[in-house]
Amino acid sequence: MSLGVKVRQPQSHGGNSSESNSSSPETTTGGGQSPEHSQIPAHMATQYYYETLQYLSQTLLYPSYAESHEILATAIMISTYEMFDAGGTSTSGNWERHLRGAFWIQRSQDNDGESIDGLRRAVWWAWLRQDIWAAFRAGRPTLTIWRPKKRLEDLDSDELATRMVYICAKCVEFAALDKTSPSQDIQQKIEHGNRLLQALENWYRILPCSYKPVMVTAEHDTMSRAPSTSKSQTRFRSVWFHPPNHAGAMQMYHFSKAIVLLNQPSTGGLNAYRQRQKGLNESLHMVCSIANACQRGEPAMAFLNVQAIFAVGQCVQMPEKQAELLDTLDRMLEISKFPATGLVADLKRVWQE
């Protein structure tokens, strides 16, 4: 059965020692260690992780399980754990392999972003969000081959939010073209980028009133909240959207727009350059303004802000804005608790190029 091959292949890395039954968690947390040591949350998480991999490898022998809701929920929880546990880029760990394993699980069950079953649909979108970030950081295309059937005009406000996730996946795929298709004609790539920018514009133009900000701080209010030791003279505002998934969709919109503009070739002159810089600057300010509105207790939104800030931050040239952006990024990393190894260093490296 193809599902068994595709799923068990990535799982095998999660425990090369999983073949020795329960030895994996014991190797991680036991082996002469004190009970107090084994109760440390990090060790407990590792133990449960290996136990879950072992459980999954055993239950996949049953065809009924391979088609169940349980395998979907388990697979997405495993990849979520690996996303937060990944040391370095996604290509160096289990996360990348299990994202591909989850892709084959989705295909075998014929799941996609428009599945009637709510859980299958939710898992698919959660998987795609993870794959977008992994692909963007690794410089590879996203894995999805699905194409939505519903028209923009037929989508409700929540479906418009998830449609932006799909468009974002296509924009990340575009950004990877230099690696996947280095010989592609420049004019073709320009036209490809224009189609994506038009898709983004079509989405933005059809948004209902619920996607408008509910509150925007005045510039002097934002300045008054700045630390007295701050050298920045260009404080970003705070912009609130409600509900939160609308704010997330707007962040993904600007994330997508920025990576297309940063990777699309141009044969235009000074005017084309200015238009591009204007678009990037608008996305930069909106992303940081939405992030400034993020509060403690909103880790999911903060993690999305981390991704958007990292993407749009690559175009920042003014040292004052770079410093302010790093302050915002650090705060989002603290709220999200995401161990973004090398993220800040990578951003600084881009600024020095």
At 35 the pLDDT is 55
The residue out of 80, 107, 142 marking a domain boundary is: 142
Query: Are both 136 and 14 inside the same structural domain?
Result: yes
Kindly state the percentage of the chain with pLDDT values over 70: 82
Query: Are both 77 and 177 inside the same structural domain?
Result: no
Spatial separation of the C-alpha atoms in residues 344 and 326, rounded to whole Å: 8
Query: Are both 175 and 119 inside the same structural domain?
Result: no
Query: Are both 128 and 154 inside the same structural domain?
Result: no
Query: Are both 38 and 164 inside the same structural domain?
Result: no
Query: Are both 113 and 162 inside the same structural domain?
Result: no
Query: Are both 9 and 127 inside the same structural domain?
Result: yes
Read off the pLDDT band of 300 (50, 70, 90).
very high
Q: Is 80 exceeded by the pLDDT of residue 315?
A: yes
Model confidence pLDDT, tens digit, residues 16-61:
433 333 333 343 444 445 555 556 776 788 888 889 989 888 888 8
The residue out of 142, 171, 186 marking a domain boundary is: 142
Q: Is 60 exceeded by the pLDDT of residue 220?
A: no
Model confidence pLDDT, tens digit, residues 93-146:
688 888 998 999 899 899 999 999 999 999 999 999 999 999 999 999 999 999
Spatial separation of the C-alpha atoms in residues 156 and 167, rounded to whole Å: 16
The DSSP line for 211-238 is GS-SEE--HHHHHHTS-TT---S-----
Query: Are both 51 and 167 inside the same structural domain?
Result: no
Range of the domain at 53: 1-142
Residue 261's nearest CA partner among 238, 239, 242, 278 is 278
Amino acid (1-letter code) at residue 299: P
Residue 123's nearest CA partner among 99, 140, 147, 145 is 99
HEC profile of 232-263: CCCCCCCEECCCHHHHHHHHHHHHHHHHHHHH
Cβ neighbours of 272 (radius 10 Å): 11
Query: Are both 25 and 169 inside the same structural domain?
Result: no
Spatial separation of the C-alpha atoms in residues 91 and 176, rounded to whole Å: 15
Query: Are both 162 and 138 inside the same structural domain?
Result: no
Query: Are both 116 and 241 inside the same structural domain?
Result: no
At 47 the pLDDT is 87
> Strand 239-240 and strand 215-216: pairing?
antiparallel
Query: Are both 157 and 55 inside the same structural domain?
Result: no
At 219 the pLDDT is 61
Q: How many domains does the chain have?
A: 2
Q: Is 80 exceeded by the pLDDT of residue 7?
A: no
Residue 257's nearest CA partner among 198, 332, 317 is 198
Residue 41's nearest CA partner among 81, 79, 71 is 81
